[in-house]
Amino acid sequence: MSAATSLYSTIQQITLTLGIVIGAASLETSEVLLRHSHAEVSDFSLAFLLIGAIAFLAVPICARLGEDAGEALSGRHAR
């Protein structure tokens, strides 16, 4: 259990960092493509939309989970 917790924590930190990197890169790319000297609201909108789209990719994966997925973690057990 200790190894699984350590692995989960590491993966969580990596994915958080990856989200920040993708957001910053899309913000910078938007600034360059739209020829802005500094970040504007439209640049942030594009960055947030990209991060939202990436997060939305999890929906089909979660939709495939069974109805009893996570019951052991929630304290409810299958009857």
Whether residue 5 is predicted with pLDDT greater than 60 in this model: the reply is yes
Q: pLDDT averaged over the chain? A: 87
Give the whole-angstrom CA distance, residue 76 versus residue 45. 40
Q: Which amino acid is at 63?
A: A
Q: 73 or 36: which carries more pLDDT confidence? A: 36
Whether residue 37 is predicted with pLDDT greater than 80 in this model: the reply is yes
Q: Taking the C-alpha atoms of 47, 51, 56 and 61 in order, what is their torsion angle to the nearest 10 degrees?
A: 150
The pLDDT of residue 77 is 65
